[in-house]
Structures are given as structure tokens and as C-alpha cells.
Amino acid sequence: MKTILLAGGAGYIGSHTAVELLNAGYDVIIADNYSNSSPEAVRRVEEITGKTVKTYEVDIKDTEKLEKIFQENNIDAVIHFAGLKSVGESIEKPVLYYRNNIDTTLSLLECMEKFNVNNIIFSSSATVYGEENPVPYTEDMKRGTCTNPYGWTKVMMEQILEDTAKANKNLSVVLLRYFNPIGAHESGKIGEDPKGIPNNLMPYVSQVAVGKREKLTVFGRDYDTKDGTCTRDYIHVVDLAKGHVKAVEYIFEHKGTEIFNLGTGTPYSVTEIVETFEKVNSLKVNHVYGGRRQGDLPECFANADKALKVLGWKTEKTLDDMCRDSWRWQKNNPDGYNK
Ligand code: NAD
Ligand code: UFG
């Protein structure tokens, strides 16, 4: 069976992907420095699947230590989740973001070349479509102008990976552009565990519901959208994780670079998220309407046809599932992995 290295695999999306890969029969190795995650997440992945995961506590930028992992294991493919992802923090600390996100990518590519590993799947983002492109986004659109350094790191890393695949004809690159992952594994054992005050909508909503935050501020109600609040393509993290399994199956049959949107194709507004969360979980989320957040696009959603056509992947879970599963995780783990 094939062995997949998950760089940054202890994080939110990586841990859910580890579960789906293990369930599909792959061997999984996780390399993470736990800067935004916890070894407890990996322990729970093992609990859910009944399988063991080899782990390395390592900074992926540290090429020497990374080489050891490639030396000790026969790696067939890499999935590169390791990155810093807070838009606001990236504006305050651009150098930290450029250094971490780009150097992790370069170290992985160097080691892969040295050890003749020719398959890499990269966690990209819908943010690369920038401000210019019209929704719904299709993969053939040009990358746009980002509003923050985090987004630019994704644009740059996509370019780096594409250039490397052009130069090395053996290399296969799959760029997965995620839309807005929310939800959690239905066991309630793994989920999103943001450190400090959450930046993203769903963890904020669930922390208000559990009593950790007083109220949600909805950023802007004067957009040209169905109810005046921004719309996004929210995708259940387990559907997203299954998209990675499909990408792994695909990558071994393919050379060059291929891009896939991983989204549902259906946008929901902030108000719809709050109302659905309240409805399916029979509770109230204290919220107020405030001003716009700088840099937010009114609408962002995918055309998800290519992933269906080429990978045979489509989402199965509903918005109700996303809200129910987010809440189960939050309720069972009010302090995340710190119990
Ligand atoms: P996460 O923070 O939960 O996971 C990232 C993991 O990478 C963490 O476990 C962190 O400790 C690790 N990491 C970071 N820098 C590292 C380094 N130098 N060495 C080793 N490990 C390192 O985030 P996530 O939500 O699981 O996101 C995974 C990837 O998907 C990221 O690259 C992110 O930018 C991208 N992405 C996320 C979203 C989203 O909304 N969650 C959307 C689009 C793209
Ligand atoms: N929102 C609120 N209140 C909050 C938090 C968010 O109203 O407290 C709103 C935002 O204004 C936005 C929507 O909820 O309209 C979603 O916001 P998120 O921060 O959850 O998600 P974004 O779409 O802004 O950002 C996500 C990823 C980024 C990625 C970006 C573009 O988190 O990594 O999509 O693809 F860059």
C-alpha cells in the first residue's frame, strides 16, 4: 500500500484527511511542528480509525530534519498542508508568513527531488482568484490580485509548484483550491481548534454558542447579496478530506500540474449560517450587525464541475450537517484539544 506524507497533517484539514486516507487503506505519516495544532489530534485520528500513524515533530523549513523523514520512509506522495493561515496576522507579520509558507514548500520540493518522490498535492485557496474574477470561479481563470500577504503566499506557491513541474517532467502537482471548510468529523473527536480569538465565522459562532464568547459581530449588512451579508461556499471538512483521497488516486496516473476547486458550488450568506446553526442545534447565537471587515469580497463560490468530471468527486454533506457537526465537536470539546 502506498505511503502518504502529510506535512502539517495534525491540523484541521490534515487530521480529517488522515482519517479518510487511513480508511481507504493508505499508510500515513504526519510531520508537523504543532505551531497551530496538537499531538492529541493525531491520537484521536488513531482512535477513530483503529490504525497507527507515524509522526515526526519537525519544522518543515528545516531541510536537514525533513531529509531524515524521506530517508527513513518510502514516500509515494506528499500532501502539503503546512502553512500559517490567518489573513489578519499575515497583514501584521508579512515576513513570518512569506518565510514560513514559502520555505516549507521549497524544503519539500528539494527533499522530494533528492529522494525521487514525484507527487505533491498542495493546499491552495479560493483566495488566489483575487478581486478581478467573476463568480463562480473556474480553474482556467487567471490568478488575481490578493488583498493580503497570506493570499499572495498561495499565489506564489502555486507558481513555484507549476514552474517546478515544468522543469521536472517526472513531477506531478495537484493544486487543490479550497473554499470555506467548516464542520467536523461526525464522531465529534476531531475538529477545528483555533488558538485565541477565532478569525473565521464558524468557530466564532460555535464559541458564542458554547458561552466562550459573548456575541458574534456580523461584518457588514450592506453588500449587494441576497440578504446584504457576504456569501461563501462552505464545504464540510469531511467532503474536503475525501477530495484529497480522490486527488491521491489521480496523482499517480498523471504528470504536470492540474488544478481543482474543492467547493460545493452553492453560496450561503452569513445570516443563513447563523440561522441554520440555530435551527439544527435548537439554540440561539447572540449576534449583532457591524461594519464591513476590510478585504472581504461580497461573494465567493466555486464552479465545482471539473472535480466531478476528472476526479469523480462531489460533496455529499448539507449545510445542516456542517452546522450540526461543528456544534457536536465544540460541545464535546469546549477547550478544543486542551480538554
Ligand atoms: P491548520 O493551521 O489547522 O493546519 C496547518 C498545520 O500546519 C498545523 O498543524 C501547523 O502546526 C502546521 N505547520 C505550520 N507551519 C509549519 C511548519 N513550518 N512546519 C511544520 N508544520 C507546520 O490549518 P488548516 O485549516 O488545516 O489548513 C491547512 C492548509 O490549508 C493551510 O495551508 C491553509 O492555508 C490551507 N487552507 C485552509 C483554509 C481554511 O479555511 N481552513 C482555506 C484555504 C486553504
Ligand atoms: N464573518 C463575520 N464575523 C466573524 C467572522 C467572519 O461576519 O466574526 C464573515 C466574514 O465577513 C465573511 C464570512 O463570515 O463574510 C466568512 O469569513 P471567514 O473569515 O470564515 O472566511 P473568509 O471567506 O473570509 O476566508 C476564507 C479563509 C481564508 C481564505 C479566504 C478566501 O479563511 O484562508 O477564505 O478564500 F483566504
pLDDT of the residue at 338: 87
| The one catalytic residue among 150, 223, 250, 268 | 150
Ligand 2 binding pocket mutation candidate from 89, 153, 157, 270 (most atoms within 8 A of CB): 270
Cα of 49 vs centre of ligand 1, distance in Å, is 22
Ligand 1 is surrounded, with C-beta below 6 A, by 8, 10-14, 32-37, 59-61, 81-85, 100, 104, 123, 125, 178, 180-181
Cα of 56 vs centre of ligand 1, distance in Å, is 16
Q: How many CB atoms lie within 10 A of CB 123?
A: 25
Which is nearest to 225 in space by CA: 146, 297, 141, 323? 297
Q: How many CB atoms lie within 10 A of CB 127?
A: 24
**The C-alpha cell of 255 is what?**
504528470
| Residue 306 CA: distances (Å) to CA of 131, 201, 242, 253 | 22, 27, 15, 17
Express each pLDDT in 82-125 by its tens digit: 999 999 999 999 999 999 999 999 999 999 999 999 999 999 99
Q: Which ligand has the nearest atom to the CA of 291?
A: 2
Contacts of 14 (CB under 8 A, 6+ apart): 6, 8, 30, 32, 37, 79, 81
Q: What's at 294, amino acid-wise? A: Q
337 is an active site residue? no
- CA dist 235 and 262 (Å) reads 8
User: Would you say the CB of residue 85 lies under 6 angstroms from ligand 2?
Assistant: yes
| Index of the ligand 1 atom closest to the CA of residue 104 | 18
Per-residue pLDDT of the chain (339 residues; tens, 9 = 90+): 899 999 999 999 999 999 999 999 999 999 999 999 999 999 999 999 999 999 999 999 999 999 999 999 999 999 999 999 999 999 999 999 999 999 999 999 999 999 999 999 999 999 999 999 999 999 999 999 999 999 999 999 999 999 999 999 999 999 999 999 999 999 999 999 999 999 999 999 999 999 999 999 999 999 999 999 999 999 999 999 999 999 999 999 999 999 999 999 999 999 999 999 999 999 999 999 999 999 999 999 999 999 999 999 999 999 999 999 999 999 999 999 986
| Index of the ligand 2 atom closest to the CA of residue 202 | 20
Helix axes 63-72, 94-114, angle to 10 degrees: 40
Express each pLDDT in 48-88 by its tens digit: 999 999 999 999 999 999 999 999 999 999 999 999 999 99
pLDDT of the residue at 339: 62
Helix, coil or strand: residue 172: strand
User: Would you say the CB of residue 153 lies under 6 angstroms from ligand 2?
Assistant: no
Q: Which ligand has the nearest atom to the CA of 199?
A: 2
Cα of 222 vs centre of ligand 1, distance in Å, is 32
**The C-alpha cell of 326 is what?**
461543528
N-terminal to C-terminal alpha carbon distance within the chain:
35
**Complete DSSP assignment for 13-35:** HHHHHHHHHHHTT-EEEEEE--T
Q: Which ligand has the nearest atom to the CA of 228?
A: 2
Contact criterion met (CB below 8 Å) for 174 and 250: yes
